[in-house]
Amino acid sequence: MLLHGIDAERVHVRVEGEPAPGRYLLYWMGRSQRAHDNPALAWAVAEADRLGRPVVVLATLDTEAPEVSERALAFQLEGLQETARELAERGIAFLARAGDPAERVLELAADACLLVCDGAYLRRPRALRLRVAESAGVPVVEIEGDVVVPAEVASSRLEVAARTFRPRVQEHLGRFLGLPELRPPRVAAVDPGLGEGLDLARPDLRARELAGGRGPAPVSRHHPGGSRHAMERLERFADERLARYPEERRRIEGRSGSELSMYLRYGQISPLRVIERLRRTDVPPETAGAFVEQLVVRRELAVNYVVRQPDYDRYRGVPAWARATLAAHRADARERLVSDEALLEAATGDEAFDAAMLEMLETGAMHPTLRMYWGKRLLAWTADPEQGFERTLELNNRYFLDGGDANSFAGVAWCYGLHDRPFPERAVFGTVRSMTAAGLRRKYDPARYVAEVRRRVGAPVAPS
């Protein structure tokens, strides 16, 4: 069933009731930072039309989140600058504000007739939505716009692996592929009178000011934020590289994937738009299927993990069999223990690992295969698995532009056995899958990867 053109299973009434007399309908843009392909926005405009009110869009930047950084803020602000422009062209009022998102929303909710927000899966954004719903004093509707198959439709249990999740998600995939249509609003944008929003003219300056010294630095030169860049990447990927995707994933030199993860992380592109574009290519279905396996099955398996595992951000969220085998090997001698300084100077002495660190520190991203190697090495080179897990998650969420997502927690936990199976027993890892420098050399050409990263970040091609 469709509600205002949106599948009813994406629409959740959080606070019921008659619309209040407020001047406008408020759409709180939290997760899906885009002006198009956005079901919450499309629904908000249609409902505002029905109520005869204008829509006000408020985007919030959570500068009180523990992992906030200038890098992540700059990426979001670059995107919001474009979103603001696009909404203005459509006659929709927009403002962005920073701070505690719940407080910012409640300030504007006081004058609203109804509040619409987009969905979220992680603890902090969920708690913010709950706080807002409890205090808004108006009906609240939450609309999922971040995944293809809504999490509660895909599975009602904690899935153990892609093989158990895949058939469930595939069963529903077809009926959730529709893109929402955004109609021009019938009621003109409200005269703001809403107070100041953030000045988006200079995202770099604004990010520095809001971050207040909390690095790392922005990486716009490598990964500029915004839906336009996301779409350009998607176009290039679909036209030039999708056909080679399965074979490119088996190399570590050269680009490997779509590099869309940071845009998906902040909702600057919808996964539905990505699929729609792929369907217009003539690559064989099994090739497109290899990509959909990552974009839908793996990505939404990560969402299943954070939704169904309350300890998703703690070591104890890792499956019991994996924790048991890692505990049995806790006292094993480590090949080495690396200090935080050596990590942050990309100077552990393992060339591929150090190049991966450099890629992360300087560009905010990392080749997918190296990311697995990176996580596995951090397990091997830290005193115990608990500390290894925490350290990896902290680095992941601070430095990567796509950090702080469901994928981040599932990706790090994967290094500790999540969604995986036991392998032959080895030191330190027990029966958790290991990855070693020798294995990397056997399968790939790490020297080319090292040279390429160093060239890209402007470091001398041979490490000193």
Ligand X SMILES: Cc1cc2nc3c(=O)[nH]c(=O)nc-3n(C[C@H](O)[C@H](O)[C@H](O)COP(=O)(O)OP(=O)(O)OC[C@H]3O[C@@H](n4cnc5c(N)ncnc54)[C@H](O)[C@@H]3O)c2cc1C
Write the CB contacts of 298 (distance below 8 Å, at least 6 apart in sequence): 162, 407
Of 3, 283, 372, 459, which one interacts with ligand X (CB under 6 A)? 372
Q: Any idea which residue has 């599948």 for tokens?
A: 7
State the nearest-atom distance from the C-beta of 353 to ligand X, in Å: 13
State the nearest-atom distance from the C-beta of 71 to ligand X, in Å: 13
What mask of x and - would describe binding to ligand X in positions 244 to 263, judged by CB under 6 A? -------------xxxxx--
Q: Which residue type, as a one-letter code, is found at position 173?
A: L
Stretch that binds ligand X, among 59-67, 211-219, 275-283, 409-417 (CB under 6 A): 409-417
CA 362 from centre of chain: 19
DSSP assignment string, 119-173: ---SHHHHHHHHHHHHH--S-EEEE--SSSS-HHHH-SS---SHHHHHHHHHHHH
- Count the residues of the shown chain that bind ligand X, applying the rule CB under 6 A: 27
Share of the chain residues as helix, strand and coil, in percent rounded to the nearest 5: 50, 10, 40
Query: Is there binding between residue 403 and ligand X (CB under 6 A)?
Result: yes
CA 147 from centre of chain: 11
State the nearest-atom distance from the C-beta of 141 to ligand X, in Å: 26
Which is nearest to 333 in space by CA: 388, 389, 373, 380?
A: 380
**CB closer to ligand X out of 11 and 356:** 356
Query: Is there binding between residue 229 and ligand X (CB under 6 A)?
Result: no
Q: Are 96 and 59 in contact (CB under 8 A)?
A: yes
Stretch that binds ligand X, among 51-59, 197-205, 208-216, 408-416 (CB under 6 A): 408-416
**CB closer to ligand X out of 27 and 400:** 400
Exposed / middle / buried, residue 401 (Cβ in 10 Å: 0-12, 13-18, 19+): buried
Query: Is there binding between residue 414 and ligand X (CB under 6 A)?
Result: yes
Q: 451: part of which helix (H) or strand (E)?
A: helix 446-457
Stretch that binds ligand X, among 25-33, 149-157, 160-168, 366-374 (CB under 6 A): 366-374
Residues 289-308 close enough to bind ligand X by CB under 6 A: 294-295, 298-299, 302
Stretch that binds ligand X, among 34-42, 101-109, 192-200, 368-376 (CB under 6 A): 368-376
Residues 263-292 close enough to bind ligand X by CB under 6 A: 264-265
Output the six-digit token pair for 159: 């899935």
Q: Which residues bind ligand X (CB under 6 A)?
A: 257-261, 264-265, 294-295, 298-299, 302, 368, 371-372, 375, 396, 400, 402-403, 405, 407-408, 411-412, 414-415
